[in-house]
Structure 1
């Protein structure tokens, strides 16, 4: 019997998922164990053999193949970034394109992330991090020349420059069309909704966090609500579900087409941040499988999406917090949340409040091992804050959109049309600031590595127990339904 199980054939999707998982692990290991590209030949042979046989006792071949592919690929990218080493400690002038919306630190520094970097007319790989003092007119898609002292990079950044000087800014035409359309529509919204509520509504609708006042941004962070105003999967999921449900009664093709347009349009406005890369990929794959009447098991979709994003940008695996949080939250919504619901409430389909509460608790417990070591604090008001605000976010997005359209079509009445949106956003702003202002809103924590490991083991054990107890099949979970 045991021998039969060892020779049992595994579905190809699970074999690919296992290879993708260890590919990501391999890219991470490339920081510490570089390998020559020739090892890819051995990895290819092991992968072909493993996919051909697809038996339980052959799975170690897939594991080794994934690791070798990941380490070799990560090593190639790492060697490419070595061109920055001679610049460390020197005063340099670099040219680059602003990759994401500029952000402002607590000290008033404007932070730019630049890609398509050029140094002395040579193209340079990777992304660099630059902070400049004072206001900057540069926006996403603009080309800037900065001057300053180059220092060692961190996380996904190949190089950093602190307190740099902007020498010049060029504005390509037509530039980043998605950003231009977003800013144009945002200005229309501000004609009907005052600040800071306008920036909050724009953040919901377009994922633009940079326009938020610093005090409101801090309050949202303390209250555990940042995920609803950054470019994240939550905003995109709301829009995709709305488009799918609006057109599915007409035809499945129209539902998928409209949802696909929604995904591409939202990504064009927000930019390809790590969380949006994940959200767009997961939503697109989920839509396709739904259209063809098939289902993506979360344990297959999760590593597959992770591998695709790391293939697109290997540095995500080297310490990008947004990428890590995005996948942790995705696992919470697709795996932990449904298990919680089924264990405590049975097969009864959850309503809006129960679904939001379940997803909030799941995301909270799943992101603790990432958030606590990174920030050293734990939000004590995240669950009540999410329960009081998150169910109203779709309505806030709709009302904010109506205000923008009215400002463009019938400007004289926009002030009156904007009142419902303003009242709702005022409630959200007040709730977030009140909860964040409580003395016990957050707790400082300094966990050791074994505490984090024990927490993860306990969480996995609880999930396995709930699945065994309920016999719940995760295969039926689809993020777009």
Structure 2
């Protein structure tokens, strides 16, 4: 490095920041650029962020001597960091709904005819059924045109509709673009073009779902697990158990759901990325002492893939599944220290493929929880996942993993549930540390119930009833507090 360049980099060397490889800088730069674009940040904020990203890259360049080999290549890659910031900003700006989307069409309350395919399991509500539809055509009066939008449908009356069915409905659309309604804004962030209220009795099934044997098998397994949980646990605990294990959200008692929302605990009762990440890490921590770190990581990978196949093509679960696979693979290959690089690169790749995932709470919780475990666990437990301290070490690691994941996701929970931030923080602090017990205990109860209903009922009390009842008790009591 020339004397002039060395003199220029001297202030950045004074920052005393450790050398970070280009992959981390690229992931941070790209993701930051995309986040600022999606949040419509002003020019001063964008310029400041770009300056910080560049300064961090220069601080690593100033410590390039710490690199053992390929210094010139790493120097060139680090110099490209500001360009990745710009690419991320452009990618997110270019990822919005197209101008011809139904989100931008003013239909003024007209009734239209829609055809499309149901792309998620129907969710039952007190007011009817909620569906996600990938719309194919729309008829407005005598005009018929092809569309390529995702819509959320509300059916006021019970219907026999299944995932994969091709249907036609008469509905009144409410576009999500430029809406001042918070719920419609949230739908827009999920790239849902419009909310549609279906006219009663207008639904027609054009063709039934043509599921292959893997999807049919997964549906049968979910049904059997739901039945096992219902037989072993009383309501409303059985509804919570079904939501946590199989993702059946409509089984949860509406009044309890309201209490859970008010106390910021609702993220615990549905399948989410952060919950799956925590589950996989608990599997690794609990089995490393018995079968060794690498085989425990292999078990975690198989568990993640199996669970992802069981739940189906739910995007948050699929994203969390692959992030968990990457995390476990780094440990299986004996490169636990590289888990941070692998997880960061995977997250940046997901953002590159679909920038709007940054607005998804499930993705945010997944990333925060995973990075918290990757960064903090080796500090608080130097032999994390080593399996060297037997069952006592496994129990300790499982407890620490839950605590770390709770602390690193708490700021996001407070941010998204700001209406009851203080109450929510307190409720999460006394409930979330028991989440591993809830999840693994309920899953064990469901599996034992498949073997014998009596066995499942007997085992449910210590395995699932106690932690789930604690969740209900905290939610009901804290929901009554003012604020």
TM-score by length of 1: 0.70
Deviations, residues 311-350 of structure 1 (Å, cap 9, x unaligned): 4434435x54444455455556656x769979xxxxxx97
Equivalent residue for 1:93, pick from 113, 116, 121: 113
SS in 2 for 1:360: helix
Rounded to whole Å, the distance in 1 between the matches of 2:291 and 2:38 is 46
Partner of 2:130: 111
Q: Are residues 1:13 and 2:16 paired?
A: no
Equivalent residue for 1:65, pick from 78, 87, 101: 87
Partner of 2:432: 390
Q: Assess if the C-alpha contact under 8 Å between 2:150 and 2:194 holds in 1.
A: yes
Rounded to whole Å, the distance in 2 between the matches of 1:118 and 1:422 is 46
Partner of 1:196: 236
Partner of 1:240: 280
Deviations, residues 329-385 of structure 1 (Å, cap 9, x unaligned): 5556656x769979xxxxxx977666645543442234433332xxxx024333443
Rounded to whole Å, the distance in 2 between the matches of 1:408 and 1:351 is 30
CA apart distance, 1:13:
0.9
Partner of 1:36: none
Q: Assess if the C-alpha contact under 8 Å between 1:324 and 1:370 holds in 2.
A: no
Rounded to whole Å, the distance in 1 between the matches of 2:306 and 2:285 is 18
Partner of 1:209: 249
CA apart distance, 1:219:
1.8
TM-score by length of 2: 0.69
Equivalent residue for 1:3, pick from 8, 26, 37: 8
Q: Assess if the C-alpha contact under 8 Å between 1:239 and 1:262 holds in 2.
A: no
Partner of 2:192: 157
CA apart distance, 1:109:
4.0
Partner of 2:406: 360
Q: Are residues 1:279 and 2:320 paired?
A: yes
Q: Assess if the C-alpha contact under 8 Å between 1:222 and 1:379 holds in 2.
A: no
SS in 2 for 1:20: helix
SS in 1 for 2:115: strand
User: How many residue pairs were aligned?
Assistant: 409
Q: Assess if the C-alpha contact under 8 Å between 2:263 and 2:420 holds in 1.
A: no
CA apart distance, 1:195:
1.6
Taking structure 1 as reference, are residues 308 and 426 closer, same or farther at Cα in structure 2, changes over 3 Å only? closer
Deviations, residues 226-255 of structure 1 (Å, cap 9, x unaligned): 122111234313432344346545465543
Taking structure 1 as reference, are residues 430 and 7 closer, same or farther at Cα in structure 2, changes over 3 Å only? closer
Rounded to whole Å, the distance in 2 between the matches of 1:231 and 1:216 is 17
CA apart distance, 1:96:
3.0
Q: Are residues 1:24 and 2:70 paired?
A: no
Q: Are residues 1:409 and 2:414 paired?
A: no
Rounded to whole Å, the distance in 2 between the matches of 1:157 and 1:325 is 21
Rounded to whole Å, the distance in 2 between the matches of 1:51 and 1:81 is 44
CA apart distance, 1:97:
3.1
Taking structure 1 as reference, are residues 224 and 331 closer, same or farther at Cα in structure 2, changes over 3 Å only? farther
Deviations, residues 257-278 of structure 1 (Å, cap 9, x unaligned): 3322221222233344454244
Rounded to whole Å, the distance in 1 between the matches of 2:473 and 2:222 is 27
User: For residues 69-468 of structure 1, what are the structure 2 equivalents within 5 Å?
Assistant: 69-72=91-94, 74=95, 78-79=97-98, 82=101, 85=104, 88-89=107-108, 90-103=110-123, 108-115=127-134, 117-119=136-138, 124-153=147-176, 154-155=188-189, 156-165=191-200, 167-169=203-205, 170-174=207-211, 176-177=215-216, 178-245=218-285, 248=288, 249-250=290-291, 254-273=295-314, 275-295=316-336, 304-317=345-358, 319-327=359-367, 356-357=402-403, 359-372=405-418, 377-411=419-453, 413-421=455-463, 423-424=465-466, 427-440=469-482, 443=483
Rounded to whole Å, the distance in 2 between the matches of 1:253 and 1:330 is 19
Taking structure 1 as reference, are residues 51 and 19 closer, same or farther at Cα in structure 2, changes over 3 Å only? farther
CA apart distance, 1:17:
1.3
Taking structure 1 as reference, are residues 361 and 222 closer, same or farther at Cα in structure 2, changes over 3 Å only? farther
Rounded to whole Å, the distance in 1 between the matches of 2:330 and 2:340 is 15
Rounded to whole Å, the distance in 1 between the matches of 2:151 and 2:257 is 24
Rounded to whole Å, the distance in 2 between the matches of 1:200 and 1:352 is 22
Rounded to whole Å, the distance in 2 between the matches of 1:239 and 1:216 is 24
SS in 1 for 2:97: helix
Task: Structure 2: give runs of 5+ residues left out of the alignment.
Answer: 1-5, 14-18, 44-71, 177-187, 382-392
Q: Assess if the C-alpha contact under 8 Å between 2:114 and 2:138 holds in 1.
A: yes
CA apart distance, 1:3:
1.8
Taking structure 1 as reference, are residues 388 and 130 closer, same or farther at Cα in structure 2, changes over 3 Å only? same
RMSD after superposition: 4.1
Rounded to whole Å, the distance in 1 between the matches of 2:379 and 2:130 is 40
Q: Assess if the C-alpha contact under 8 Å between 1:252 and 1:291 holds in 2.
A: yes
Rounded to whole Å, the distance in 1 between the matches of 2:468 and 2:80 is 59
Q: Assess if the C-alpha contact under 8 Å between 1:189 and 1:198 holds in 2.
A: yes
Q: Assess if the C-alpha contact under 8 Å between 1:274 and 1:323 holds in 2.
A: no
